[in-house]
Structure 1
Amino acid sequence: MNEKDDMFKKFHDSFKGMQGHFHILEERVPVERQVEYFKYSDRMKQNARPIEEDEFELLDGWLTEPDVTDENRKFALTRLAISHNIKAYRALEKYVQSPDSKLKDWAHLALMESRITLESELSEEKQIYISTGLGGKNEKLRFFVLLQAADKKPFEAYQRQVIEREFAFYLEKADCEIEQLDIKDRYGILLFLLPIRTDIKALLDATIAECNQFGNFLSEVYTVTNVKELSEEEIIAIIDRNGNVKASH
């Protein structure tokens, strides 16, 4: 097993046997912003105290009053998120329906933290928070996959049909949801939702093998990321490097 294959295994094994209620951030929030939010939240928790009614009214107003600074709104969102207060959760829930564009990501993170905090108090079940740059839905994570033509040869029409048919069949069979499957001249891009306990490497390897029953036209080398969708420039750069690595980021 090489280093990259081992990364896939560690990712899959991290969820095996894990018990509890999974909370998956559905929105696509850049990883850097997530780190910023939770560092900010952790600092605020060091001096946390129960939220009083007058403070709640002030912070709730900061979410809607037009002349409030972004910094004060960020403070209000985070303070409400860590307050262990159902009224605060409802205020956050309302705000994310129509947030300031600059604070949209922050608001979704605050709502998620508030939900986990409340559920951990109301339920004996362990609460597990999972987030990636591409987000997810229910208990599924979103992945972007770059598929490559073997030997950089352009796909023929029947080969495109095989890829579309086999990936649709095997991913649906594994309870995945394909959101995009776009076959270009020499590569294909796949965006799909994968159940968190599914072995993504085994699934992709098996599906590619099925496609190659019809002529070995699809490279066994592919790139996987759950951080972001790759741009065309990034895709071309990977292909130019001959796609020598199976990567999971």
Structure 2
Amino acid sequence: MDDNNNLKKIQEAIDSLPDNFSILEEQIDVDLQMEYFDYVKDKRSNEGIEDFDEAERQLNDPALSEDEKKQLLVRLAGHDQVEAFRIIERFHKGQQGVLRNWAVLALQESRMILQSSLLGEQQVFISTGLGGKGQNIRYFIAMMKREIDEPFTETQQKVIENEFQFFLAKGEGEVEEISFVDGLALGLFLFPLKKNLQDIFRSFIDECNQYGNFLREDVIITNVKKLTVEDIKNFLNNQDDLNNHDDEPEQD
């Protein structure tokens, strides 16, 4: 019941989004995103910058610590001036790892603030661990064979690939990757945020199972990160343990 209520609330929030929302395209670890937003909320450390030239010099100073550069990027992103955006943009191009991803988040925030200032209306920004493209969210999916320890046959793989492409295209989505490991079919795909995924996958699995009833009806879908085979099998084992526990008779 709680899960259904949560899904309903999420869908209501999605339905209420304006048409001009933007989605973070990069795949950035969710923990790093949360850290960035914590920096943004820390108003005590987010005073404005008066000298942009000096700020850019500090950003490129090897002696400045990573944490100090993070804070400086957040401060720059808070300005509604093109000059601040250009400084972040130039810095981003020469970075790798954590600071590059941090600069991506700062660029996105700076762009939103500029747009809000120029257009006179609040901008909505959506970020997930797997990012997106345009107004499509990127998802990772794991589909399971009923006999999960047995590999998919070539025919079953072809059925999944063809039907996956067909049903996603029908919903204005796009397949980016699909691979098969033992009894798992793993994929990355893009799908419009405002469209209902459940209906698509219910029809997709029903269609695949016309060719031998080989797919489980439940799938794993996340927009947080790509799961490893070990992650998936651990999750399935935990679910089996919970189901077995629920089936145990109560003791008087």
Shorter-normalised TM-score: what interval?
Answer: 0.7 to 0.9
2:137–2:192 Cα contact (<8 Å) kept = yes
- Note the C-alpha offset of 1:75: 2.1
- Note the C-alpha offset of 1:137: 1.3
2:40–2:46 Cα contact (<8 Å) kept = no
Distance in 2 between the 1:220 and 1:3 partners?
21
* Counterpart in the other structure of 1:89: 85
- Note the C-alpha offset of 1:102: 3.2
Distance in 2 between the 1:26 and 1:107 partners?
13
- Note the C-alpha offset of 1:163: 0.4
Q: Which amino acid aligns with 1:41?
A: V
- Note the C-alpha offset of 1:95: 1.6
Q: Which amino acid aligns with 2:207?
A: E
Report % sequence identity: 36
* Counterpart in the other structure of 2:196: 199
- Note the C-alpha offset of 1:237: 1.6
Distance in 1 between the 2:110 and 2:52 partners?
14
For residues 87-236 of structure 1, the aligned pairs below 5 Å read: 87-152=83-148, 153-236=150-233
2:78–2:110 Cα contact (<8 Å) kept = yes
Structure 1 residues 81 and 66: alpha-carbon distance in aligned structure 2, compared to 1, 3 A threshold: same
Q: Which amino acid aligns with 1:212?
A: N
* Counterpart in the other structure of 2:58: 62
Q: Which amino acid aligns with 2:172?
A: D
Distance in 2 between the 1:187 and 1:43 partners?
44
Structure 1 spans left out of the alignment, 5+ residues: none
For residues 38-77 of structure 1, the aligned pairs below 5 Å read: 38-44=37-43, 48-49=47-48, 51-52=49-50, 55-77=51-73
Distance in 1 between the 2:155 and 2:6 partners?
34
Q: Which amino acid aligns with 1:117?
A: I
1:8–1:200 Cα contact (<8 Å) kept = no
Comparing 6-15 and 24-33, the one that deviates more? 6-15
1:12–1:198 Cα contact (<8 Å) kept = no
Q: Which amino acid aligns with 1:118?
A: L
1:132–1:226 Cα contact (<8 Å) kept = yes
1:56–1:88 Cα contact (<8 Å) kept = yes
Distance in 1 between the 2:104 and 2:173 partners?
24
Larger relative contact order, structure 1 or 2 (CA cutoff 8 Å, min sep 6): 1
Structure 1 residues 6 and 34: alpha-carbon distance in aligned structure 2, compared to 1, 3 A threshold: same
Distance in 2 between the 1:137 and 1:47 partners?
30
> Normalised by the size of structure 2, how large is the TM-score?
0.87
* Counterpart in the other structure of 2:15: 16
- 1:87 is paired with a residue of what secondary structure? helix
Q: Which amino acid aligns with 2:229?
A: E
Structure 1 residues 69 and 100: alpha-carbon distance in aligned structure 2, compared to 1, 3 A threshold: farther
Structure 1 residues 15 and 167: alpha-carbon distance in aligned structure 2, compared to 1, 3 A threshold: same
Per-residue CA deviation, residues 98-143 of structure 1 (Å, 9 max, x unaligned), is: 2143312211111111111111111144411101111111111111
